Amino acid sequence: MALSARIPCLCLLGLLSLTQTACNTVPPGHLRQSQLRSRQLYDQNQAIASARDQASQSAQQLAQQNQSLKQDLDVASKRLDNFSSERSKMQQQIVKLMNDSNYRSPLSAESTRRFEELAGKYPDFDFDPNTGVSKFTSDILFTSGSADLRSSANPLLKDFAQIMNEGDAGQLNILVVGHTDDKRISKKSTAAKHPTNWHLSTNRANSVVLSLAKAGLQEGRMGVAGYSMHQPLVPNKDDKSRGQNRRVEIYVLAPDAIVAGWDPQDTRRN
């Protein structure tokens, strides 16, 4: 073939080769976008896998916490049952004590005389020399619906603690019992602190015990109970009778008296 004829053929073959190569080559910009997209999908899959693992760990931790909480609730329930049983025993002992006509005061003549003088000093404080039971009207100790002691009650309770810490009375124990009238708790501000008369009666007894402890009476010598509205002195027919029923009573107990498992030997060791 003549040289002039071969040149056009070579040019044609070269052009065909360039065209074929261009068809099989991805533009660089498109390739870069595909790579970035693949990387994004990989990162997203990794994040999803990590989140799934964390969720699984959280679920296991939550299951363990629920199991632990269930165990704590079981323990608390058993303790509440034990407390209710002890409270029932204490109530039975107190009822027996209150209804025992043969019960006599364990106080000595000297301590009895001092308590009688205390009753003469504070008109709203009542003392029975035969039984040794002291009664405080609620009005002398608390404002209506409150378990916070009046500041004016502190001298009386301080004098009471002093008598109980001296002479033969220093060997005796006391039981502080709270009572309310028959009116239900209605004020929201009161109900927030004392939802029921049960709460109010026991909370008031607690306040008296804490005040006596602050005045120097050993805590191991004291016990607390509350009777709500269920042990009235007189029928709740008017404000005057209700005032009589709102009270705190203190029972003086002999050294060997045991109330609801209260061991005097443990008291002496405290």
Model pLDDT for residues 68-121, shown as the tens digit of each residue: 777 777 776 676 566 555 555 555 555 555 555 566 789 999 999 999 999 999
CA distances, 137 to each of 29, 140, 170, 186, 204 (Å): 94, 6, 25, 21, 12
First to last CA, the chain: 129
pLDDT in the model for residue 22: 46
Q: How many CB atoms lie within 10 A of CB 256?
A: 9
Domain limits of the chain? 96-269
Quick check: 268 pLDDT over 80?
Answer: no
Architecture of domain 96-269: 2-Layer Sandwich (3.30)
